[in-house]
Amino acid sequence: MIPPAAARLDPRGLALLLVTVIGWGFNWTSMKLLLGVLPPFSMRVVCAALGISLLFAIAAWRGERLTVPRALWPRLVAASLLNVTAWMGMATFSLLWLAAGEATIVCYTMPVWTSLLAWLVLGEPPSRRRLAALVLGLGGLVVLVVGPGLDVGLAKLPGVVAALGGAVLFSLGTVVTKRWPLALPPTTSVAWQLVVGCTPLLAGALIFETPDFSGLSGWDWAVMVYGGVGPLGLCYLAWFAALRRLPAAAASSGTLLTPVIGVASAALLLGEPLGLREVAALSMTIGGVILAVRG
């Protein structure tokens, strides 16, 4: 028998949530593929440009306000640096050392760090569940790093530090935005955060990189278009639409499928290993996230 709460879930909301987590999950595989033909800053900036164009077009079509009030700019800059610059930059750099599945597992410890940062910034003391979530999350990281052997683990350490840094800073951005919210329409808010947050990445691409776009194949461009239009464009719109139709707890729990899809798609499309170590690290991480969300 279906519980009454489950029976009330909007099927359209569930479909939109599924689109979101599938798109975000496959994005890790697409980024790993693109890093084989483009340097990290250039790759992310081009993808972001596609997503930004789509989001502004949709915001205009929906009649959303596109301008940012002057008083909101400090909050917008702070949120953009944490949610976009740090997250997109560090998560992408982690893929230079980590497999796509490994980076997904580390980055999706975000709710664990959010619960701890909420204690420091919002004065919300962690419960026993959230402390247990921290232990499980750290345990998953240890299994991921030490599992293949200390030498291999140390070689992967820069990637783990970059992914973990991105996850922690994104979590800080979540808490800061909760404390000082951005009073902007959702589509416009994401579009402007991408514009502001990708500006440092664009500077890095212009200063440090010399990408060869002429050498990209049709398949490479197709993956690039997917990375911009899908995860950075349509998936955000699907996520906001799902939040309007589903309880917040159900939507948050649904995002737990994202690292599962990321790990599975990397194994299927990139031939990455999916053995006991990866399953154990993923299980511990998801267990920690569940405790953090429900704590």
Tell me the per-residue pLDDT of 105-151, one tens digit each, with 9 for 90 and over: 888 887 778 777 877 777 767 677 777 777 777 787 777 777 666 56
CA-CA-CA-CA torsion sign (172, 230, 194, 190) = negative
Helix axes 11-34, 100-107, angle to 10 degrees: 130
Residue-wise pLDDT tens digits, 57-78 = 999 999 999 999 999 999 999 9
State residue 86's pLDDT score: 94
Rounded to two decimals, what is the model's pTM?
0.85
Question: What does the chain look like in DSSP terms, one character per residue?
Answer: ---HHHHTS-HHHHHHHHHHHHHHHHHHHHHHHHTTTS-HHHHHHHHHHHHHHHHHHHHHHTT------GGGHHHHHHHHIIIIIIHHHHHHHHTTTS-HHHHHHHHTTHHHHHHHHHHHHH-----HHHHHHHHHHHHHHHHHHHTT-HHHHHHHHHHHHHHHHHHHHHHHHHHHHHHS---S-HHHHHHHHHHHHHHHHHHHHHHH----GGG--HHHHHHHHHHHHIIIIIHHHHHHHHHHHS-HHHHHHHTTHHHHHHHHHHHHHH----SHHHHHHHHHHHHHHHHHHH-
Which of the pair, 125 or 93, is modelled with greater confidence?
A: 93
pLDDT value, residue 147: 64
Structure tokens at 76: 């917008």
pLDDT higher than threshold 80 for residue 28: yes
* Average pLDDT score over residue span 194-200: 96
pLDDT for position 4? 46
> At a CB cut-off of 8 Å and minimum separation 6, what does 272 contact?
99, 100, 101, 266
Where do the structural domains in the chain lie, given as residue ranges? 12-294
